[in-house]
């Protein structure tokens, strides 16, 4: 699977059940970052990156094995007042992120992947 195809599948899978908090059809990537980064890691490996946002919530994205960074949910910040503070980026272990996301990952896989 290539990243562009996975991105299409994820966009069609996002819903209120896969969001960590508020969700809207008008901003489908809203609160989908953790579950999305876990699925990207499933297919492509690499690191799970996390930073705080200006409101104190967490934002997750990926660093692939080749060193490139992929953030399939960055567009959520075009529609809300919150913004990531990437200067505070840390690598998180999968177990840490999965602790909060296991049910959401299962929901996305069952919907279309």
Contacts of residue 73, defined as CB under 8 A and 6 or more positions apart, other chains included, come to: 29, 30, 32, 33, 36, 59, 61
Radius of gyration of the chain (CA): 13
| Number of structural domains the chain divides into | 1
For residue 88, what are the domain limits? 3-111
The reported pTM is 0.84
List pLDDT tens digits, range 55-112: 988 999 999 999 999 999 999 998 888 998 988 899 998 888 876 555 555 555 565 5
């Amino acid at each position: 699977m290539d990243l562009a195809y996975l991105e299409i599948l994820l966009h069609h899978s996002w819903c209120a059940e896969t969001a960590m908090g508020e969700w809207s059809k008008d901003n489908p990537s809203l609160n989908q970052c953790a579950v999305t980064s876990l699925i990207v890691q499933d297919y492509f490996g690499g690191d799970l990156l996390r930073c705080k946002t200006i409101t104190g919530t967490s934002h997750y994205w990926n660093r692939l094995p080749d060193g490139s960074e992929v953030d399939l949910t960055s567009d959520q910040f075009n529609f809300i007042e919150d913004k990531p503070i990437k200067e505070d980026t840390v690598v998180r272990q999968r177990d840490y992120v999965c602790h909060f996301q296991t049910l959401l990952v299962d929901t996305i896989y069952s919907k279309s992947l």
